[in-house]
Structures are given as C-alpha cells and as structure tokens.
Structure 1
Amino acid sequence: MKTFAGHALARTLLLGLGLFATLGFAADGMPGMAKGARPELGSSAVFAPDGSLFVAAKQGEHVMIYRSADEGKSWSAPAAVNAQPEAISADGENRPKIAFAADGGLLVSWTHPFPKPNTGSVRLARSADGQRFSPPLTVHQDTAIITHRFESMLTLPDNRVILAWIDKRDLESAKAAKKPYTGAAIYAAISTDGGRSFQPEYKLADHSCECCRLTSAIDHDGAPLFMWRHVYAPNERDHAITRLKLDGTAENVQRATFDRWKVDGCPHHGPSLVVDEKGVRHAVWFNQKDGEARVFYGRPEISAKNEIDGQRTVGGPRAAHADMAAAGGKLAIAWKEFDGERTQLRAMISSDGGDSFTDVALASTDGASDQARVIRRKDQLFTFWRTEKEGFRLFPLP
C-alpha cells in the first residue's frame, strides 16, 4: 500500500491523469451566482462494516475507489467504478456519493453531466467486493437533456436504497405550456434489491432551489427523511423537509427553516441532516438572516410552530459548507472557514444533544479544498477532508 496524502510522486501522477482538472460551476444563469474555475476535489468517504475506510473520488472520466485499513495513513491501489469513461461531476455540492447497502454491497452514485450546461443524469454502480463493479445504470427513466443532478443516496436496513435529486422536467413542461414555474422539483427513485435495479421515479415536491445539494437521514421510527433548499413565495430560499411512507411517496412536505432569505439565485450551499440515538433531528444550513449570511445549526421538527429549536450560528462570518453526524451520544459539526490567508478546518462537538458545543481546530491549508465530511464508525466520529496539496485526511473527533 502506498501513502497517498502528501506523497509528491503520487500527486504528480494523479495530476497527469486529470484528477485535479478544473471546471466552471454555472448557477443556471441566475444573476450574481456564477462560480469560477477550481479543482474538482469533491469526494465522499464511508467506513465499511469491517472498519476500513472507502473513498470515492473523480479521476479523469472515472470514479475511483480508494481503500485504507489504517484510518487514512496509507491507501490501496484505486479501483475504477465505471469501466467505460464518461463525464463526472465532482464539485462539493454535486460530488460522487458512496454507501453500503444492508446486504453489504458497495454503492457509488454520481451525476453524469451532458454537454448542455446545467444538465445531467444520475448514475449508480454496485460492487459485491468493493473492487469489481457492475456496469453503471441510470436510476431514472426520463432521458431528456435536462437537470437530473445533486442526488442524495439513502440506504435502509431492509435493503432498500432511495435516491432523490433535483429535476427540471416540470420546469421544462411549464415553459412549453407558457406557464409560470419557480425553481425545480425533487424526484426520487427506490430500489428494493440493494441498488441492483430501480423502480420508476416519482415526484416528491415542486419548487426546490436549483443548485444546492440534498441531504437525507433515517427518522426515529425508520422513515426516510429528505431535506433541501426550497423556494417559498414570493422568493424566499429557506429549507423544506419531508418524511417518506413505506412505498417511498412523500408523507408531507413542510418548511424546516424560517430565515426568510429573499434572493433571486441559488447559493450552491445545501444542508446536512441527522437523527440522533434519541430520535432528535439536527440540521446545519446556510442562509442569510437579519442581513448577515451565516451557517446555522438547529433542531427541525415537522410542526406548525414556524420556528426551529435551538438555532445558533456555526463558526465565524466566513464559515461555509458545514456537515454533521451523530454517534455514541455525541453530535459533531465540521466546516471550513477562510481566515484571510488559509482555509481552516474546524469542528464543534456536543454531548448534550446540541444545547452546548465545544470548538475544535483540526487543520488548515493554503490551497484549494473540498467540503468537510463528518462520518461515523460505530460510536466514533471523524472528519474527512480532501485538499489540493495534502490529499485525503481523516481526523478523529474527541
């Protein structure tokens, strides 16, 4: 096994293979929301049942799987997920995803962008051994050259797999009929066989925001939960949350945050949602409130109170792209924050269900970096962070 992070020869090789190619991030033509070119560092990490760490990352026109048996100190030779090359999205909001199905199958999903800007299809491949993958399938039956992007993958204990994504078929239909339609829609597809096949997709909600990642979790009673940035009339970019019934359809769609951010554009900044061992929901999200754009934490409940419990800011005024997880009676939030010279990786840990937090400084970099990911291995929490200069890094959280 070779050491990946910080290994100059390995970085040179990966550069030659196109791992650090650049991409322009368009914001669907909305004013003031264009993204500049930057390295494609979007990656995902998960612990396997045996405790080893798996990472999914883009390399050229392939999604590659890296495996570490020693918490990221060394890495096995990568395995290609898609044998046939294809375009792959790998920015932080629309990165490849990785998860284990209940039957042990390793699942990797990604968005395959089309040449037309802001379009793509949601793809998934499965492996029984983490090395050899089945040919990838497109999880939706709609083949129109439109937006099917920003998917969230949720695996359930009964071997179901649900993918939900942002979809613009209803916007296109409204345009053709010369009818108004705000934002996009959330569609989902369900697999009952551990990701080997998917049933026809269906709509969860109209009027989602266009370019923010979705998040998902399993509720206290086992029901799937999905949360996303939504467009509320007249143009408030807050968040919605829905529970799914046993058949996968939406039980209801209710407002989850109440910051009332009025903006004619998508901030490319999606939420993160977890449910702890006591069944309490916790979320982090980015919004503008009282004229200040910040990352927030709170405990969203599906209710008519028009408020979110325990809302507080996370980090400083430049905090961005927070993620969270819960395990072993602890809740962890990680994010990155630019201090004017370097990008800092920071975390907050709570042992009392989010009533109070302890701040932790983890690392920094002076180059480009991916968003932070908080992952769990049984009762222990970790932050996974990929940077342009240092590579993959894993930080145990106290």
Structure 2
Amino acid sequence: MMTIRQWIISIAIVTAGCNSGDKHEQLLSNATQDASCPFMTTTPDGHTVISWVETAKGADTGTLYYAVSADKGRTFSAPRRVATANGILPHAENMPKMVFKPDGEVIAIYGVEQNDARNKYAGRVYYTRSLNGGETWLPAVPLVTDTGSYDQRYFDIALLPGGEAAAIWLDNRKAVDAEGSSLYFAVTDGRDGFKKERALAETVCQCCRTDLYTDAQGGIHIAFRDIINDSIRDMVHMVSTDGGNAFSKLNRISADNWVVRGCPHTGPAMTKNKQSMHFTWFTMGGGEGVYYCQSTDNGQTYTQKQKVSIAPMAKHPQIATLADDRILLVWDEPVKQPDNTFKSRVGYQWRDGGGKVLQTGVLTTDSTHVTYPVITGVDDGTVLMAYTQRAGDLQQVRCMLVKQ
C-alpha cells in the first residue's frame, strides 16, 4: 500500500477529452493523415492551443492545423486549418509555431524548403496572419525580404509584455568567415508584421532549435547552441530587460566543451519561476544525455549541471513551470525491444520550485513509439503534454494531462 507521501508524488495520467474513462490520451490529428510537429501556446483569455502539421500519406509537405481547449486541456475543439500555411516541411526541431496577440491578431510562422544551390539544406521562413482571431487568414509572406538571406531556419516566436510578438531565427547572413549561422531578432509593429530585424550573434550552431522566452517581469530570454572557438557546441543564454532594445552578452550555461563537427538537432529549453531561471539541454560533452541547471541571478551565473535522464541518448528536452512553482522536464529516449529493434518513450522528472528532484520516471509505454514531447503548465498540479506517436505507417499528434 502507498504511503501518503508516495501518493502525493506519484504520477497520475488524467483522462483528456476521451469518451471512455479508461483512456488517458486524446488524438488531435486526422487519423488518416501523417501528423507531427506539435507546439503549444495560449490565447489572451487563457485558453490552451496545440498546433501541428498534417501531410497526406506519402507527401513531403503539409498544412498547419490547430485546436483550442477552454477547459485546461480536458477537451479540444475540432481541428482548425490555417488555410494560408501550406508547403510546410515537417521538422520537429523546426516546427511551425503560433502566437495570439491581445488585439485579436494571430500569427503562424513556419518553414519551407528553399532549394538553393548554395546550401542544399537551406530553408525559408514564412508567416501568415489573421486579424480576426483565426476566422480568416492573410496571404503568407516571407519573414526576411533581404535577398542576401537565402537560408532561415530554427525560429521561435513569443508574445512580449506590451502585446507585440518577437521572433528569432538562424540566418546565413554574417560578417565573419566562419562556420555557423547568425541569430536574428525582430518584433511586430502593430498589425504591420515583423519589422527592424537585426543580428544578435554570429557563429551559432546552424542545426539546433532556438528558444525565445518572456518572463513575468518582462525579461526576454534567448537560448541556443553556439559554436565556441570554432569547434565547441555548447548552450548559451542572453537576456534583455528593456523590451529587446539591448541584450546581455552571451553566457554559457554550462562548460560542457562538446567538440563535434556535426548537427546535434536538439536545442535547449528554459522556464522561470519565483526562485530562478531553469534550463535543460542535450549534450555529449562530459557525459551523454539530458542535463539541467538554474540561474538565480537572471543569467549572470549558473549552477553546476545535473544529469536528468537515465537512459542513454535521451534527447529533445522540454521544461515547464506550474502555477505552484514546481518544474516538470520531459524528453524522448530510445527503448530496446525484444526483437532488438528500438522504439521511443517519454521520460519525465519533477522538481520542486528550488530545483530539487522529486521523482524521475517514464510517461509512455515501452511498446509505443513516442517522440518530441512539448509541455505547458495548466494549473497548480497539472501539465498538458503533446507529442508525436507512431501508428502503423503513419504518425499522429496526441496529448495527455500529467498530474503530480
């Protein structure tokens, strides 16, 4: 029999929008389509939004869909198609994203193939806008119009405290002859789209997602994998406390000293509670796996990294703060099957507000294939998680509520 303490810190998967009480997850995407790239955001009135990409079976590109929950993830609306977000190249590290501005404008941003001879992997970022809360959508436009930019990828978007939206992305334009991309930053100007782009950093790892996060105090945080001394690919962090006019210098959150001449394809994630900033990332420098650290002084110094994952090759971490200040981390990790093949499951770790570990375990079964989880806190004790799950020869986007 469980003790009271064991019961309090145990994980319960809460039924999420299903007809049967013995089910614990909800299918969001069309079961006949290939779906991937889940992303989460919120509306100005606090409703939860999950977006994803759907492609026809065998197709290379797809269209953006999203669904809205008015009851903290227990049920969701029917999927809504973003009619002008098409030709999307599904890539879970370069997933389409949405932001809902308080003036009723909705922005969806996504990546397509560039097909440029200068870089066979080049991409281009577009965005489309709705001025009436998603009822109708304007034609998509490129995020960058400078003809010197032929490769934009690994973007992020966030709502700023004043109601505008900010975007960051990796761009081929740079003034130095060195490997890597530049990190660019732009902010919307009312309903005129993104304006006044500018570069914030150069020699950024060109193949890992970036993270843009705004805290409750108005701080704008950016984290990404940098290329240091031509060969080290470690995570760095910068912050602006004046609305994005100026950013702090780059600070390495952990001196992993990972020397790699390749593409990790796994970026950082961060969140903030009353105590500190919290970070999670994947590295193979000084040990392989998912790690965690925190900063109590808004990015001036960072604690020693702590290993989070148990399984080898755990990747793609995400982190979220609950209303009561607790922290949940999730990631995907390979799991070997009896026939010596591999599937993928989601691991988790609960931490208290100060970063102390409460419990570590797995959220999905070893017999399913689940990748790229994303999470958001919905109340004091519950986190909503969305993920991509293999179903036969297709993929589906599903969600579940996770309660501590």
Matches within 5 A, 1:357-368: 357-364=358-365, 366=367, 368=369
Partners of 1:2 and 1:334 lie apart in 2 by 23
2:163 paired with 1:159: yes
Query: Offset of 1:239 from its aligned partner?
Result: 1.4
2:178 paired with 1:186: no
Identify the residue that residue 33 of structure 1 maps to in structure 2: none
Counterpart of 1:133 in structure 2: which amino acid? W
Equivalent residues of 1:55, 1:98 under 8 A apart? no
Percent of paired sites with the same residue? 21
SS of residue paired to 1:54: strand
**Aligned-residue CA RMSD in angstroms?**
2.8
Taking a change above 3 Å as real, the CA distance of residues 161 and 100 of structure 1, as seen in their structure-2 partners, is same
Partners of 2:316 and 2:222 lie apart in 1 by 18
Query: Offset of 1:165 from its aligned partner?
Result: 0.6
Equivalent residues of 1:310, 1:354 under 8 A apart? no
Equivalent residues of 2:281, 2:317 under 8 A apart? yes
2:124 paired with 1:121: yes
SS of residue paired to 2:31: helix
Taking a change above 3 Å as real, the CA distance of residues 132 and 397 of structure 1, as seen in their structure-2 partners, is farther
Identify the residue that residue 261 of structure 2 maps to in structure 1: 264
2:398 to 375, 379, 392: 392
* Partner deviation per Cα, 1:127-172 (whole Å, 9 max, x = no partner): 33234223223222324462211101111120121100111122xx
Equivalent residues of 2:259, 2:285 under 8 A apart? no
SS of residue paired to 2:278: strand
Identify the residue that residue 110 of structure 2 maps to in structure 1: 110
SS of residue paired to 2:250: strand
Query: Offset of 1:92 from its aligned partner?
Result: 1.4
Identify the residue that residue 22 of structure 2 maps to in structure 1: none
Equivalent residues of 2:51, 2:64 under 8 A apart? yes
Query: Offset of 1:87 from its aligned partner?
Result: 2.2
Taking a change above 3 Å as real, the CA distance of residues 129 and 104 of structure 1, as seen in their structure-2 partners, is closer
Counterpart of 1:294 in structure 2: which amino acid? G
Aligned length: 359
Equivalent residues of 2:238, 2:299 under 8 A apart? no
Equivalent residues of 1:65, 1:78 under 8 A apart? yes
1:238 to 228, 231, 234: 234
Identify the residue that residue 31 of structure 2 maps to in structure 1: 11
Structure 2's unaligned 5+ residue stretches are 1-16, 20-24, 56-61, 338-342
Query: Offset of 1:123 from its aligned partner?
Result: 1.9
Query: Offset of 1:122 from its aligned partner?
Result: 1.9
Equivalent residues of 2:170, 2:206 under 8 A apart? yes
- Of structures 1 and 2, the one scoring higher in RCO (CA 8 A, sep 6+) is 2
* Partner deviation per Cα, 1:57-110 (whole Å, 9 max, x = no partner): 112332122334566666544322143x64213221101112322334333211
Equivalent residues of 1:112, 1:121 under 8 A apart? yes
Partners of 1:2 and 1:134 lie apart in 2 by 34
Identify the residue that residue 282 of structure 1 maps to in structure 2: 278
Equivalent residues of 2:149, 2:173 under 8 A apart? no
1:337 to 321, 329, 333: 333
SS of residue paired to 1:352: coil
SS of residue paired to 1:363: coil
SS of residue paired to 1:265: coil
